[in-house]
Amino acid sequence: MMMPTSTPEANTNEATLLPALKTTELMPYLPHRYPFLLVDRVTHHEQGIRIEGYKNLTMNEGFFQGHFPGMPVMPGVLQIEAMAQLGGILMAHTPEGAEMLGLFAGLDNVRFRRMVEPGDTLEMSVSVVQLRRRIAKLKGVATVNGQAVVEADMMFSLMPKSEATLSG
């Protein structure tokens, strides 16, 4: 397990708490839009340290139609993506990530613990493990009803938004 980042924010006992965000308020921090926006709300945010949020899942999610007919399950890659999006919001509120776009650079120690089904609320927590220049390492954990469903160590390469070619 890696030690926490050595940024000043992570070493203080008094983290700056940022306000909770509902869907429309978190959208400026992510390039994703429906149907690929996988965070409904940010519920807790310690600037540069940790963030918590959730995704409510209904049978109306498009992926449930084909994954799997008769036994709808949220794909594991989308569970990871939801945690990554939450991590993107966390990174957007750091000095290193303010004008950056986080792109996946790697995943380690991914574990899926149970299925995520329609009606579940995927509750996620993402923490900064290490942050150096243009590389960020984050730890994500998601639960449903207090039971772990997925966890992963995620690595991001931070790219200036000015260099990204995003339309819309």
67 phi and psi angles, rounded to 5 deg: -130, 80
In the residue annotation, 45 being an active-site residue is answered as no
Distance of CA 38 to the CA centre of its chain: 9
Give dist(CA 105, CA 152) in Å, integer. Answer: 13
Q: Which of 32, 44, 45, 67 is catalytic?
A: 67
CB 91 within 8 A of CB 30: no
CB 86 within 8 A of CB 138: no
Give dist(CA 28, CA 89) in Å, integer. Answer: 9
* 59 contacts: CB under 8 Å, gap ≥ 6: 72, 118, 119
Q: 13: how many CB neighbours lie within 10 A of its CB? A: 4
* 14 contacts: CB under 8 Å, gap ≥ 6: none
Q: Which sequence positions are flagged as catalytic?
A: 67
